[in-house]
Amino acid sequence: DAGVTQSPTHLIKTRGQQVTLRCSPISGHKSVSWYQQVLGQGPQFIFQYYEKEERGRGNFPDRFSARQFPNYSSELNVNALLLGDSALYLCASTSPDRSYEQYFGPGTRLTVT
């Protein structure tokens, strides 16, 4: 089975612009989580979706939004980009059993100039 896929792999945007990042979970996984990781830190939780419903939201401003589609893929949107939004954005899908193991995609490297 294919792993978690994310697109694009790299992105360069200008301050004030908007960006959409995409993620497809592992087949059979219904939950997707989004994380932001800046250099030297662990991932910071942004959103979790399960069966198209938001299950959790981290401490991020309203400029960040997400949604999950009927096929369980997901999009993360960031509006009014700031320089500080430059980071690796990670998507993870959660195992459908009770283990709560999360498996990550390759990430999207966002650079805001």
Partner 1 sequence: QKEVEQNSGPLSVPEGAIASLNCTYSDRGSQSFFWYRQYSGKSPELIMSIYSNGDKEDGRFTAQLNKASQYVSLLIRDSQPSDSATYLCAVADSNYQLIWGAGTKLIIKP
**Distance, CA of 12 to chain centre:** 17
Nearer to partner 1, 79 or 111 (CB): 111
- For the bound state, the minimum distance from the C-beta of residue 16 to partner 1, rounded and expressed in Å, comes to 27
Cα–Cα distance for residue pair 102/74, rounded to 1 Å: 15
Nearer to partner 1, 25 or 43 (CB): 43
- For the bound state, the minimum distance from the C-beta of residue 102 to partner 1, rounded and expressed in Å, comes to 6
Residue 103: Cβ-neighbour burial (10 angstroms; 0-12, 13-18, 19+): middle
Return the closest-CA partner of residue 66 out of 32, 43, 92: 32
- For the bound state, the minimum distance from the C-beta of residue 90 to partner 1, rounded and expressed in Å, comes to 6
Nearer to partner 1, 5 or 73 (CB): 5
